[in-house]
Amino acid sequence: MAGETIVRITDVAALAGVSIGTASKALNDTGQLREETRLRVREAAQKLGFVMDARGRALSSGRSYTVGMITTDSFGRFSIPVMLGAEDVLSAGQMAVLMCDTRDDSVREQHYLRSLSSRRVDGIIVTGRSSDPRPRIEVDIPVVYAFTPSLSPDDVSVAVDDARGAEILAEHLLTIGRRRVAYVSGPSRHAASTLRAGAAAALLGPNLVAPPLFGEWSERWGRQAVDLLLRQNPDVDAIACGSDQVARGVCDRLRELGKSVPQDVAVTGYDDWNVMALASRPPLTTVNLRLEDVGRLAGRALLDLIAGREPASAVIEPTLVIRESTVGA
């Protein structure tokens, strides 16, 4: 175990009394060998503590068993769960993952693409900060886009269903009997932001008391929005927010004004970011984007692509998470 001289497949073959080609076949479950021979080789490998040299394998098989994970997000709040999910299924498939944080810099992106190409990775997963689509990357190996879909419909993307998330929350508010709903969104320049606001508005119809308010992704904006809103619509009975951060600000301000949540006003967030959704008073009803599932699916799709199959793009439906900000404690 601790006798640390590196053991090659040659050594395994010698101990098992077979040729090195045979040893290779035995260890990889390829070729046609008697079961007994396979076993003998495996035992020899076991005994010697053989770990295959990935370099040799990569060179001769043409497969590096390595994939690149490119993110523009510096491993932020959204890309991390995606990466964890992807890494989970990839490493179960014996793939190693090279991390590439481009920081939204195209020079760095080029650098990483060269590095990955030089390493002959079997494929690439691309993810990022937002669910807005991005330009495709031009390489001739398998690529899967996760969370941040590709603009090109020919690419394989695993996205989240942003509109559906907003609808789920709107339905929930209607279900619990709210009829005077307001929508407090993030910045209008985010496609996801307007998409969600639009979907919610469409579903709420006349139950929406005012046009969606656009601002920023912050608690401060949530607090400001409450003031704006109550001035025009003092009888609002629910506020759907574009993010958990905004929702938390909304809750704080409502409490300060003596309105009780959810009795007077129900509040919903978006994202199920624990540090916001659970710390809020009261904890937030929100939707969970299932980003780990997005990552997992993307990982599987990439494995499929590498194996020569043709996975389809997919859209993951978020799930409703009900907490005390909409249903009485």
List residues near DNA by CB under 7 A: 6, 8-10, 17-22, 24-25, 27-28, 30-34, 36-37, 50, 52-53, 55-57, 59-62
Query: Of 43-72, which residues contact a copy of itself (CB under 8 A)?
Result: 51-56, 58-59, 64, 66, 69
Binding characters for a copy of itself, 244-283, by CB under 8 A (x = yes):
-x-----------------------------xx--x----
State the nearest-atom distance from the C-beta of 183 to DNA, in Å.
56
In terms of DSSP H, where are the helices of the chain?
9-16, 20-28, 35-48, 54-61, 79-92, 106-118, 162-175, 191-204, 219-232, 244-256, 274-277, 291-306
Amino acid at 271: D
Q: Which strands, in side-by-side order, build the sheet including 181-184?
A: 181-184, 238-241, 266-268
Only one residue has tokens 């339905």, namely 171
Closest distance of CB 247 from DNA, Å: 53
Cβ-in-10-Å burial (0-12, 13-18, 19+) of 175 comes to exposed
The residue length of the chain stands at 329
Q: How far is the CB of 153 from DNA (least distance, A)?
A: 33
Residue 69 interaction partner, one of DNA, a copy of itself, none, beta carbon < 5-8 Å per kind: a copy of itself
Q: How far apart are CA 101 and CA 128, in angstroms?
A: 10
- Residue in 17, 39, 96, 232 binding a copy of itself, rule: CB under 8 A: 96
Residue 31 binds which of DNA, a copy of itself, none (CB < 5-8 A, kind-dependent): DNA
- Give the tokens for residue 9: 């497949």
From a copy of itself, DNA, none, which one binds at residue 137 (CB under 5 to 8 Å depending on kind)? none
> Residue 212: what residue type?
P
Rounded to whole angstroms, the maximal C-alpha distance in the chain is: 87
Bridge partners (DSSP) of residue 7 are none
Residue 27 binds: one of a copy of itself, DNA, none (C-beta under 5 to 8 A by kind): DNA
Residues within the interface to a copy of itself (CB under 8 A): 4, 51-56, 58-59, 64, 66, 69, 74-75, 80, 83-84, 87, 91, 94, 96-99, 101, 111-112, 114-115, 117-120, 140, 218-220, 245, 275-276, 279
